[in-house]
Structure 1
Amino acid sequence: MPLIPIRHLCCVCAVLCAAALARADDSFDVLHWWTSVSERRAVDALAERAAGEGVAWRNAAIAGGAGIGAMKVLKARVLAGRAPDAAQLIGPAITEWADLGLLLELDDVAAAGNWNTRLFPTIWTLVRQRGHVVAAPLGIHRINVLFYNRKVFADAGLSPPKTWAEFDRAAAVLARRGVAPLALSSQPWQVATLFETLALSEGGPAFYRSLYARRNANLWFDLRVTRALGRLREMRRHAPQGEPAWDTLARSLARGDAAMFIMGDWVKGELLALGKSVDADFGCVAVPGTEHMHLYSVDSFVMFAGDYGAQPVQEKLARMMMSPSVQGAYNRIKGSVPVRRDADTSGMDACATASWRTFARGAGVQAPSMVHRMATDETLKDAIIAQLHRFYTDEQVPVSEAQRRIAGLVRTLAAQGGEDK
């Protein structure tokens, strides 16, 4: 079915709020998009803990990178009156669903657990809407990460690159040795993920945040965007062409078929699930130019209210997700880090420690991911991703033309947004 803007769901709010959630049995229906090996293990850990709390967790797992398919299924289910008990949501999408009045407010759970002091300020802001807590956060992913195969680098006498000049020199050495320097897919969301790390590298967090504001169309003509787009196109020559899934590329890195992979730290979770070790087999460093920056995405769950019949179980799950033990166990498997400011860092590996400590430095170093639903709404996100993909796959499109097209989209959508108000 076509993607339906969330604002078009308003017409069904009254019906859904008055109707009971469809339940075929006593299980707790959870919709998410975690389907890789490591993601399934992370979900299994949550389900096992839920079972210990007397909750029969039932997965409604929808495959598809960046949750694109899951969001379509969620909207279809809500329109059909079959909202799940809980669903994975990220960033502004939480606010959009809360505005429809469909989400259970978790104020009592949050107050009892002192979420306002336990959570990082950015996370506390994220889960609240109009003074109410409407989501339970699970983990923080860092996206500006460069993974590298330790053996491949050692055999080539290389160190992980800290600058783009070092990256280019390492890529040249690796190519001469017959190793693909970079694992890279031309899937739209993966191309756009690479671009946003490059934009962060060129402009820093403040510029990056401004870039995705709807009314800053002219920023897309900035020289920092020009350089990021140029670097994005150059990356093509460092990688085999194709559209492999991200977990397939993780396996390529693990085997040593590719030497580097720029992607979120869910890759670490996948490498660990493959039996690889941070110390012995792979390393992770910040993407060149972003060492003290954190491009982030936050895994969160919302609870759909329905007739409030599931509220006791939903609140139990929210408490569970924020408990220190679940935060620790889940994030170790997933590759992310806890959302709690009081997290125990003693058991974190080097990758997790760098991520958690960098995020803890505050909003000045943080940048919300556009691709992974933290920086802007679905319409603008999809439009930018489509144009970045077109630029990446069609070498006849000049950098200036890509900038003009994206700026035009931002300007048009900003005008439409003003009309909607």
Structure 2
Amino acid sequence: MAFCTAKIHAATPQSDSTLQVLHWWTSASERKAASLLAARMADEGITWRDAGIPGGAGIGAGKVLKSRVLANDAPEVTQIIGVSIREWADLGFLLELDKVAAANKWNTSFFPTIQNLIQHRKHVVAAPLGIHRINTLFYNKKIFSTLKLSPPENWDELVMVAAKLKAAGLIPLAQSSEPWQVATLFENLILAEGGPEYHRELFVRQNAQAVMDKRFSHALERLRQMKSWMNNPVDERPWTEVVRQFSKNEAAMMITGDWVKGELNDGGFVTDEAFSCTAMPGTGKYHLYSVDTFSMFTNDYSRIAAQEKLARLVATPAVQVDYNAVKGSVSVRRDADPARMDSCARASWNAFAQGATTQAPSLVHRMATDETSKDAIIAVIHRYFIDATVSPSDTQARLVAMYKTFGNNKKQTP
């Protein structure tokens, strides 16, 4: 991002206790989670001025934020996640929350990965809200029970389950051809093929040699095989429509992030009753993660007290429990009580708690790399998915060339 580092100022005067919050929580369950936070803020005397931007994976919100910063009209609070936090902090726009972190003992309350994520040059610049597990397989309990199917734990079992579902006249897998949703499925396959370390080689270190590994071509082949388990044709739909297909018993499984759990529960399709979840086959020990965070823009120093109050509030044990139960995510706190979580949340929290060796930062959700690299990688995978004439070797060659370009650009960056 090429912005000047001059401080920005809000265009419209507001009360010092009013904070505009830019985010991409626009589905029914996400709005409920946002409303919960707004109500907790109101209890603290802070008004939440909503600026929700539609668009899966925050694509639209990112564009809106950049345009507003250029127009000197940045919101006081913004949902910024992953590598994007460091990018904005590098430009000098983010409020340092060191006093809040120290007073509330964030350094011992949060998991180490969360601590690293919210810091930039030894300063805390974001407040964490919740952890999403991206490698989650959701399955319809009634359909599985009727067909006497068990949740698949490895690839061969997944293939067998899909075959039996197709034989019964059912769509095995609910899926959209929207680029970020395709890439989400693919990085699940990468994690299953090579674990967290291989996932990091590919998407964090962007190692061109790793792209030529057989595990990469296997993941591509399996992605194409899975396409035959989906709608024909696989249309481009928002994730909420994919969830709706699953909740109407029109598809037996979904593989995606656990935010869909909040949407299912909100629609009356209840966890551990209508559906349950397991890890993506082959990834049972791993956690492909995305972390929701808020950062505060230093556009109006009169609102620092309110911004710090919000940062403190969202990380408190009580808000963590209530917010994550609605959102479908799990607490960022090490002292959370897994006994108060449903089975899906408990599995997610326990997997994340095992530490860095079991964790993989999601490519699609900005945890692994910068926005430009992310978008370019997703485009290559999406092209392979939608065009049957593109071979795995073509895709590998294209990505290798791209990684070499990324490397050259980094070397030339002062």
Corresponding residue number in structure 2 for 1:283: 276
Corresponding residue number in structure 2 for 1:51: 42
Corresponding residue number in structure 2 for 1:20: 9
Letter in 2 for 1:225: F
Q: Distance in 1 between matches of 2:12 and 2:100?
A: 24
Among 165, 169, 173, the residue aligned to 2:164 = 173
Corresponding residue number in structure 1 for 2:389: 396
Corresponding residue number in structure 1 for 2:97: 106
Does residue 83 of structure 1 match 2:74? yes
Corresponding residue number in structure 1 for 2:143: 152
Q: Distance in 2 between matches of 1:114 and 1:247?
A: 37
Q: Check the 8 A contact 1:214/1:414 in 2, yes or no.
A: no
State the shift of 1:155 in Å: 1.2
Does residue 379 of structure 1 match 2:372? yes
Measured against aligned partners, the alpha-carbon deviations of 1:380-406 in whole angstroms (never above 9, x if no partner) come to 100000011100000000000001101
Corresponding residue number in structure 2 for 1:41: 32
Does residue 274 of structure 1 match 2:267? yes
TM-score (norm 2): 0.98
Among 118, 133, 136, the residue aligned to 2:124 = 133
Q: Check the 8 A contact 2:9/2:74 in 1, yes or no.
A: no
Return structure 1 stretches of 4+ with deviation > 3 angstroms. none
State the shift of 1:214 in Å: 4.7
Three-state SS of the structure 1 residue aligned to 2:79 is: strand
Letter in 2 for 1:58: R
- Matches of residues 240-389 of structure 1 in structure 2 within 5 Å? 240=231, 241-389=234-382
State the shift of 1:235 in Å: 1.0
Q: Distance in 1 between matches of 2:103 and 2:366?
A: 29
Q: Distance in 1 between matches of 2:142 and 2:236?
A: 26
Q: Distance in 2 between matches of 1:104 and 1:133?
A: 9
- Identity among equivalent pairs (%): 55
Aligned residues: 410
Identify unmatched segments of 5+ residues in structure 1. 1-5
Corresponding residue number in structure 2 for 1:3: none
State the shift of 1:22 in Å: 2.7
Three-state SS of the structure 1 residue aligned to 2:166 is: helix
Corresponding residue number in structure 2 for 1:143: 134
Three-state SS of the structure 1 residue aligned to 2:182 is: helix
Identify unmatched segments of 5+ residues in structure 2. none
Measured against aligned partners, the alpha-carbon deviations of 1:252-296 in whole angstroms (never above 9, x if no partner) come to 111110000000000111111111222210010000100000000
Q: Distance in 2 between matches of 1:49 and 1:410?
A: 45
Measured against aligned partners, the alpha-carbon deviations of 1:39-60 in whole angstroms (never above 9, x if no partner) come to 0110010011111111110111
Does residue 420 of structure 1 match 2:409? no
Measured against aligned partners, the alpha-carbon deviations of 1:162-217 in whole angstroms (never above 9, x if no partner) come to 11111111111111212100001100000000000000000001111111135511
CA RMSD of superposed structures (Å): 1.0
Three-state SS of the structure 1 residue aligned to 2:188 is: helix
Corresponding residue number in structure 1 for 2:155: 164
Q: Distance in 1 between matches of 2:248 and 2:200?
A: 36
Does residue 67 of structure 1 match 2:55? no
Q: Distance in 1 between matches of 2:27 and 2:401?
A: 36
Letter in 2 for 1:84: P
Q: Distance in 2 between matches of 1:354 and 1:380?
A: 31
Three-state SS of the structure 2 residue aligned to 1:283 is: strand
Q: Distance in 2 between matches of 1:20 and 1:412?
A: 37
- Matches of residues 108-123 of structure 1 in structure 2 within 5 Å? 108-123=99-114
Does residue 227 of structure 1 match 2:208? no
Measured against aligned partners, the alpha-carbon deviations of 1:1-40 in whole angstroms (never above 9, x if no partner) come to xxxxx1x11x2x22xx1x4323343331000001111101
Letter in 2 for 1:99: D
Change (3 A) 1:204 1:214: closer
Three-state SS of the structure 2 residue aligned to 1:81 is: coil
